Amino acid sequence: MNVLAPRRGLSFGEVVARHHAQGELVVQPRMGFADPGRMTRGLLATRSARAATVGTITIDSYTRVGDHEAARAALAAGADLNGYPLVDHDPVTTAALLDGVLTGDFPVQVRHGSADPRRIVRALLDFGLHATEGGPVSYCLPYSRMPLSAAVDNWRRSCETLAEARGPELEPHLETFGGCMMGQLCPPALLVALSVLEGMFFWRHGIRCLSFSYAQQTHAGQDEEAVAALQALIREYVPHARTHVVIYGYMGVYPRTPGGALELIAESARLAARTGASRLIVKTTAEAHRLPTVAENVTALEHAAEAARGVSRIGRLGDTGIHAQAKALVDNVLSLDNDLGRALVTAFARGQLDVPFCLHPDNAGRARGRLADGGRLEWQRIGAMPLGDLVDLPGDRRMTSNDLLDALRYVERSFDEKYGLPGIETVNRLTQGSRT
């Protein structure tokens, strides 16, 4: 089935590169609606926003886990899904949706969260799309119980399918999600290493146009250093690919006040501009409360674009060891096996890659990150990862549940307190006082 031929014009990577060359940050929503009319309106509103934009279709959770029977049943019942069921929606409806949206300079990326994206990739290609995202590690460990070895094979096949679609007027694009692992409390070196390793995996299985992700964390200076390390490692390990860096707005507990949320959105945009990133995945003021509306998405996109305008690229950065740590993790994985997929499986089996607070059975779970003074993310324990000569670990004080909750709410508290919403410590004091 080839419902919709690919559009003539620039590919996803070329559109982003053109805007970057013009000094514009591309801003992109995380948008997905089951209703085709609403999805169309969302894409058209994104295209018309006062910003350099690309479109997004985010897939529903049934499709993400491969439960296509449930997706079809929900569609038949008129249920409101949390995304667009691209695989199971009526093909004529989806073709019409895209036919009114896609242009030569407004591509649409499919975002999904699946450890087995084979049917999703085939469907997006059938509809004339050519850009998606994820990875064998980053869309397996946080989101599924699938064995990592199976996810690696699924992603190998999906990369090959995507690569086979390349043509004179079509360059498929794939974005790593590895730089966003678990969203928070993961020290930046591991995020950088996973993003590079997934990008290398994509390259080895035929993808030539790549973007590498990094999620905004808890300390702006540390994030700047991490993005610089990511850019240096991309140049070293995938020098021949067409690449760009994409920043994700903070993925942890979001500010509850509109002012705090808007300031955090602006800070993510300034981070992208200062580091020379090309694209930003934008959150909204609704993140702490519910799924955002189309209007809230557009407001956030325009706010981020305005915040990024005129921001100068940062100069020389300090070095706290993020590059050295990330490179050590990458080099160790590459030494385990000539097949990068098998190497990734082996590294996790040995605990030489180990994601803090990740409960997947194939993750060792011996590493821990911690929030240090001033908001920097550091290692508390490194497990079996080959970082012993590169990090200074604190004492072996265990993290309590209160410590964990306090760390998880650090960004929310920092931004909300500026707008009069009391932090959790103040709430606790007031509550305790009212009981005495």
The secondary structure of 260-296 as a DSSP string is: HHHHHHHHHHHHHHHHT-SEEEE--TTTTTSPPPHHH
CATH class assigned to 12-308: alpha beta
Residue 316, exposed/middle/buried by CB under 10 A (0-12, 13-18, 19+)? exposed
* Phi, psi (degrees; rounded to nearest 5) at 288: -80, -5
Q: Distance between CA atoms of 59 and 55, rounded to whole angstroms?
A: 13
Q: What is the pLDDT of residue 419?
A: 80
Q: Distance between CA atoms of 106 and 286, rounded to whole angstroms?
A: 25
Per mean pLDDT, which range of 192-196, 248-252, 330-334 is the poorest?
A: 248-252
Return the amino acid letter for 432: Q
Per mean pLDDT, which range of 3-12, 43-52, 62-71, 287-296 is the poorest?
A: 3-12
Q: What is the pLDDT of residue 429?
A: 42
Q: What is the pLDDT of residue 305?
A: 97
User: Burial letters for 335-355: b for 16+ Cβ neighbours within 10 Å, e otherwise?
Assistant: ebeeebbebbbbbbeebbbbb
Give pLDDT tens digits for 284-312: 988 888 888 999 999 999 999 999 998 98
CA 424 to each of CA 180, 352, 407, 409, 413: distance values in angstroms, whole numbers, following the listed order: 26, 36, 11, 9, 7
Task: Flag whether pLDDT at 8 surpasses 90.
Answer: no
Tokens of 140: 């397996």
Q: What is the pLDDT of residue 420?
A: 73
CA 416 to each of CA 17, 301, 386: distance values in angstroms, whole numbers, following the listed order: 35, 21, 38
> Rounded mean pLDDT of 131-145?
95
Task: Flag whether pLDDT at 42 surpasses 80.
Answer: yes
Task: Flag whether pLDDT at 7 surpasses 90.
Answer: no
> Rounded mean pLDDT of 273-285?
95
**What residues have CB less than 8 Å from 372, skipping those under 6 apart?**
378
Q: What is the pLDDT of residue 350?
A: 98
Closest CA to 281 of 54, 21, 20: 54
Task: Flag whether pLDDT at 46 surpasses 70.
Answer: yes
Looking at per-residue pLDDT, the higher value among 58 and 287 belongs to 58
Matching residue, tokens 């609704």: 286
Question: Coil, strand, or helix at residue 106?
Answer: strand
User: Burial letters for 220-252: b for 16+ Cβ neighbours within 10 Å, e otherwise?
Assistant: eebbbbbbbbbbebbeebbeebbbbbbbbbbbb
- Place 433 in a pLDDT band, splitting at 50, 70 and 90: very low
Tokens of 255: 């500010």
Looking at per-residue pLDDT, the higher value among 57 and 103 belongs to 57
- Place 348 in a pLDDT band, splitting at 50, 70 and 90: very high
Task: Flag whether pLDDT at 160 surpasses 80.
Answer: yes
Q: What is the pLDDT of residue 139?
A: 96
> Rounded mean pLDDT of 246-250?
94
Task: Flag whether pLDDT at 44 surpasses 80.
Answer: yes
> Rounded mean pLDDT of 366-379?
91
> Rounded mean pLDDT of 250-266?
88
- Place 424 in a pLDDT band, splitting at 50, 70 and 90: very low
Q: Which helix (H) or strand (E) holds 243?
A: strand 242-248
- Place 9 in a pLDDT band, splitting at 50, 70 and 90: low
Give pLDDT tens digits for 390-402: 998 886 667 777 7
Q: What percent of the chain has pLDDT over 90?
A: 75
Q: What is the pLDDT of residue 426?
A: 42
Q: What is the pLDDT of residue 246?
A: 98
Per the DSSP assignment, residues forming a β-bridge with 29 are 282
> Rounded mean pLDDT of 139-160?
96
Task: Provide Rg for the chain, Cα atoms.
Answer: 21
> Rounded mean pLDDT of 304-332?
93
Q: What is the pLDDT of residue 3?
A: 52
Task: Flag whether pLDDT at 149 surpasses 90.
Answer: yes
CB 233 within 8 A of CB 388: no
Task: Flag whether pLDDT at 323 surpasses 50.
Answer: yes
> Rounded mean pLDDT of 276-284?
96
Q: What is the pLDDT of residue 254?
A: 87
Among 77-86, 164-173, 237-246, 408-417, top mean pLDDT goes to 237-246
